[in-house]
Structure 1
Amino acid sequence: DIAEAPLLLKQATDRLLGAPPHPRRTRFMVTLPASTARDSRFAMALVEHGMDCARINAAHDDVETWAAMARQVQRAAARCGRSVQILVDLPGPKLRTGPVAPGAPVMHAKVKRDDEGRVIECARVILDGSGQPGRDAVREPGQEPVLGRLSVPRDWVGQLRHSDAIAFRDLRGRRREFRVVHRIDAQQVVVECERGAYIAPGTTLERRARTGRRVRAEVGPFEARPARIRVMTGERLLLSPIPDAGRPERRRADGRLEAPAVVGCIEPSIFQHLEVGHTVKIDDGKITAQVERLDRHGAMLRVVHAPPRGARLGPDKGLNFPDTRLPSQGLDQRDQNALRFAAEHADIIGYSFVQSGAELDALHQSLAALTRRRIGIIAKIETAAALEQLPGIIVHGASRGPFGVMIARGDLAVEVGYLRLAEVQEELLWLCEAARVPVIWATQVLEELIKRGAPTRAEITDAATAERAECIMLNKGPYLPEALDTLSNLIGRMSRHQSKKTARFSPLPW
């Protein structure tokens, strides 16, 4: 009965995601950062600003962190008098590049300059006497930078005082000077440098003591970052079955390629299914290549697309094989560990990279052996194979209990191509509505707002389109509470104009 269809979909959604928050029908799911485990105020802010489901990505962190994240959300929900579902996302068989040989153990201490070259921010470094090796600074979009560290003798750093000057010559032989600006503890001080410098193990640091005596110390061991690999369109790249075989390319003086770079694949069995001509996409599709040759060394790829100035390639980058049909790998040990945790703590389980209904049957069997609790399942549609098997996935999933489908647009876009993605997400919405299956709209929703505090025009329109799904997922970032407010306002406006795919033709507001 067509008239009953909306009610049946609503009931299926309520069974999976819980009752909707008045007055909106669309639920908001949020991917929790690991810091939520120790930040009760952030968890409270997410609940207060409208989070209906908290997603724990079990591909990262550990059981203790997951449990702490769940506890923070549950306590915040109880204080607010709200019900918030906990979703645990199983890691799944994500194919990635393996480790890359380390590069030179060098720290580049960088200053910031204005348009006229004046220094507006000195380079800051921690001198660390704890005995741990030094490491470079970490800068992630939307997050506070983590200062780099240089390992120095404990006794030497313990004698430093505020404003002490420390002279040295960097790797280029240039005279430079650190000045102590802050002591963290007995073993660590923060220093500033008004000019950029390249520093490596063995660099001599010289402090002038108050007695006039010069006290020297050498920079100790330094954890080098992976060597930089750069690939250009038209060049070759060797994909190796040895996971840790990664090493950079060799180039002639004129920049032309002399020997191709090598990247390892963490799952060597993939090479049994690769064929010449198959497409390989790397790092969320930033690099597209085709298999030219297969031999005992691996797959020699020809890069057919990369950014105009080339692309940097490193460890732990995603690998997609859209032309290659890979056999089901089932639940590996990491999945089993996450499943045991989910059986105790989760309301919903996300099944990553599901490719068939039989895999859902196997998941239910494994879950039944762990608990009698009624736990919902969300099938994440991330591959071309999952699209082909979608009817079977829906039948096997929806027949066993609360069930939903996630349009995981990240890997899905890489698999089917960006031009096809818009069509595919429409088709998924149609099919799932016809089957009375709730849909979760995921990946990069309001991403600029979440990471940098201001949305783009395009992502506002994308989020408005997402109103047709039963649930919208936001990824982690420092401006999540603001993004939840924006999304709530936007969804409220759009719900006056449409219900699923049906226009309401509400009165115009002007």
Structure 2
Amino acid sequence: MVVSTIEHEQAATTLDYSTLDLSNPCVLLETLQTLRQLVVQDGQDIFDSWCSPQRCVAVSRIQRQVFLSSGLNLAHYMALRRHDLRPLQAALVPWGLSSLGRLEGRVIPSLDAVIATLGAICKVNPATLPSRPALQEFLEGDRLLHQQTEDVLGQTTGERRVRIMVTLPTEAASDDNFVRDLLQRGTNCVRINCAHDNADLWAAMIDNARRAETETGHSCKVLMDLAGPKPRLDEVIAPDHKHRLLQGDCLVLTHDLPDPKDATCFRATCTLPEVIDRLQVGATAWIDDGRIGAIVEALTDQGVLLRITHASLKGSKLLPDKGLNFPGTDLQLSPLTAKDRQDLAFVAAHADIVGYSFVQSAADIKLLQQELAAQMTQPREIAIMAKIETPQAVNNLPALMVQAAGQQPFAVMIARGDLAIAIGYQRLAEIQEEILWLCEAAHIPVVWATQVLENLVKKGIPSRAEMTDAAMAEQAECVMLNKGPFVAEAVTMLDDVLTRMQAHQLKKTSQLRALHSWSGS
């Protein structure tokens, strides 16, 4: 079961509101002062815990100067969120004060501003209170997020704040107009998935991207996404006269396929055969991004017998190369495969950002950093983008961010496809919000990914629900579109949506521009 990223830290002393009259501004002031003291103390403990086992000075681990204050603000935010702030929020609203709902990037300055104002209301000697933060101090978090976003994703096109990333198809290697058109429509970053194509095609894609930069005058970052240990179906055999899996059917995952004439149920091999030996009876399996669901019914001499629990009413096709997910099963896979290590030589020489699939811990980040150091003379110049797609990555996100951003430019991608399967669809929105909060507290840019405007990209017509999803991506720093025949048109529409939405929303904050959408009575 996934644990909240904010609840994951060991509980410390928390506020008890049961005997407090928070409608009294002086009681409210005293409570906030106590909260601030706890946040400062507990935050420093968290910050120190990110150091070595010898609890050395924290700056020895955070070697990027720009991340020192960001790391401390993240620690303060985690300390703050150990408390239930809802009673305080409700008590602050009648006084016209901040309800503390938008303080992620500036925890202590926000608390100090509220405390100083409450002190004036209660006529308390200002010398006994924290100093009211200067405007520059209050806006420092916004500046740091802007700086770290540019360090990873580059500058935006025009006035739009949120970047657009596009996954390149194979045709981008041969069609030099393809990337140019994407950049002219508003694309800021292109993604190459190392799970597909090869080094020659990747090089051609990058050459076309660099040429398009020169011709259009628009900068374009190149993200190369390592494939990672993603189990997939390899070879597939269907029983005679049967082409689709139905609920109740059986599927055997096996190391070796039998003669097709002997197949009595669907059979398939796996690209990572060691996964088969780690499954237990009762384990859950999902195939093809959750389109097919199954449960391990038995372990046999041939492999693992799966019983299909979810499939289309008309049956679902079982095709090679479709992804396999086993939520709840520890597959004991290294996040860097042999192929990833081989691909890193090319990535280190050509990419601006390396995408890290199925990263789960700070140790995984350190492993990639060591591999980059072996490949590059300046390994801290390349940015890392961690794809958050497992419960372990969610739980370990703070330490993961410190290890990465403490050394080099860093961003987080919310890989909502695998993440939804791993934690349950009903928890995706909640966990996505928590990831956004924590990243803003650390001033780390976030990429909103998976199935954005998918109907538009694939079919040319968007659904109403995905338009709202695209608009809500204003909370992130970048939105990723997958490949499809109408991806250029999707970039144009997404550029328009994001440009319009930034007049209404900045991260979590509503922007109240004048509205002229309705006529007066």
Check 1:246–1:467 CA distance in 2 against 1; reply closer, same or farther (3 A cut): farther
Retained in 2: the 8 A contact 1:246–1:261?
Answer: no
Please point out which of 498, 501, 509 is paired with 2:505: 498
Write out per-residue CA displacement over residues 71-122 of structure 1, whole angstroms, 9 at most, x where no aligned residue.
0010011111221111111111110112124999xxxxxxxxxxxxxxxxxx
Identity %: 48
Check 1:249–1:234 CA distance in 2 against 1; reply closer, same or farther (3 A cut): farther
**SS in structure 1 of the partner of residue 375 of structure 2:** coil
Please point out which of 391, 416, 438 is paired with 2:398: 391
Please point out which of 174, 190, 195 is paired with 1:38: 174
State the Cα distance separating 1:229 from its structure 2 match.
4.2
Partner residue of 2:474? 467
Partner residue of 1:421? 428
Check 1:500–1:248 CA distance in 2 against 1; reply closer, same or farther (3 A cut): farther
Is 2:335 aligned against 1:338?
no
Retained in 1: the 8 A contact 2:335–2:358?
Answer: no
Retained in 1: the 8 A contact 2:239–2:265?
Answer: no
Check 1:68–1:237 CA distance in 2 against 1; reply closer, same or farther (3 A cut): same
**SS in structure 2 of the partner of residue 45 of structure 1:** helix
Partner residue of 1:8? 144
Partner residue of 2:193? 57
Write out per-residue CA displacement over residues 478-499 of structure 1, whole angstroms, 9 at most, x where no aligned residue.
2222211111111111111111
Check 1:292–1:103 CA distance in 2 against 1; reply closer, same or farther (3 A cut): closer
Distance 2:342 2:412 in 1: 23
Distance 2:161 2:425 in 1: 29
Partner residue of 1:73? 209
Distance 2:141 2:271 in 1: 45
Distance 1:247 1:462 in 2: 44
Write out per-residue CA displacement over residues 33-71 of structure 1, whole angstroms, 9 at most, x where no aligned residue.
111111111121011111111111111111110001000
**SS in structure 2 of the partner of residue 231 of structure 1:** coil
**SS in structure 1 of the partner of residue 253 of structure 2:** strand
Write out per-residue CA displacement over residues 282-302 of structure 1, whole angstroms, 9 at most, x where no aligned residue.
111111111122232222222
Partner residue of 1:177? none
Is 2:436 aligned against 1:300?
no
Retained in 2: the 8 A contact 1:322–1:416?
Answer: yes
Partner residue of 2:269? 264
Partner residue of 2:451? 444
State the Cα distance separating 1:314 from its structure 2 match.
2.2
Query: In terms of mean alpha carbon deviation, does 347-356 or 325-334 score higher?
Result: 325-334
State the Cα distance separating 1:249 from its structure 2 match.
9.3
Retained in 2: the 8 A contact 1:245–1:263?
Answer: no
Distance 2:179 2:300 in 1: 51
Q: Specify the structure having the higher radius of gyration (Cα).
A: 1
Distance 1:28 1:385 in 2: 28
Partner residue of 2:369? 364
Distance 2:430 2:215 in 1: 42
Write out per-residue CA displacement over residues 235-294 of structure 1, whole angstroms, 9 at most, x where no aligned residue.
33222233x4595997xxxxxxxx432222222212333222111111111111111222
Partner residue of 2:83? none
Distance 1:101 1:276 in 2: 23
**SS in structure 1 of the partner of residue 204 of structure 2:** helix
TM-score relative to the length of structure 1 = 0.71
Distance 1:62 1:487 in 2: 29
State the Cα distance separating 1:505 from its structure 2 match.
2.2
State the Cα distance separating 1:389 from its structure 2 match.
2.1
Check 1:38–1:300 CA distance in 2 against 1; reply closer, same or farther (3 A cut): same
Partner residue of 1:132? none
Partner residue of 2:382? 375
Retained in 2: the 8 A contact 1:240–1:298?
Answer: yes
Write out per-residue CA displacement over residues 127-162 of structure 1, whole angstroms, 9 at most, x where no aligned residue.
xxxxxxxxxxxxxxxxxxxxxxxxxxxxxxxxxxxx
**SS in structure 1 of the partner of residue 275 of structure 2:** helix
Partner residue of 2:248? 234
Is 2:377 aligned against 1:354?
no
Paired residues for 1:74-113 under 5 Å? 74-101=210-237
Distance 2:238 2:318 in 1: 13
Cα RMSD (Å): 2.0
Retained in 2: the 8 A contact 1:349–1:375?
Answer: yes
Check 1:248–1:310 CA distance in 2 against 1; reply closer, same or farther (3 A cut): farther
| Structure holding more helix per residue | 2
Give the letter for the 1:233 counterpart: Q
Retained in 2: the 8 A contact 1:30–1:474?
Answer: yes
Retained in 2: the 8 A contact 1:99–1:246?
Answer: no
TM-score relative to the length of structure 2 = 0.69
Partner residue of 1:182? none
- The runs of 4+ residues in structure 1 deviating greater than 6 Å are none
**SS in structure 2 of the partner of residue 23 of structure 1:** coil
Distance 1:89 1:245 in 2: 35
Retained in 1: the 8 A contact 2:238–2:267?
Answer: no
Distance 1:397 1:500 in 2: 23
Retained in 1: the 8 A contact 2:448–2:480?
Answer: yes
Distance 2:438 2:300 in 1: 42
**SS in structure 2 of the partner of residue 419 of structure 1:** helix
Partner residue of 2:462? 455
Retained in 2: the 8 A contact 1:56–1:87?
Answer: yes
Check 1:282–1:248 CA distance in 2 against 1; reply closer, same or farther (3 A cut): farther
Distance 1:469 1:228 in 2: 45
Which ranges in structure 1 are unaligned for 5 or more consecutive residues?
105-226, 251-258
Retained in 1: the 8 A contact 2:167–2:193?
Answer: yes
State the Cα distance separating 1:385 from its structure 2 match.
2.4
Retained in 2: the 8 A contact 1:249–1:261?
Answer: no
Partner residue of 1:29? 165
Aligned residues: 379
Give the letter for the 1:91 counterpart: A
| Structure holding more strand per residue | 1
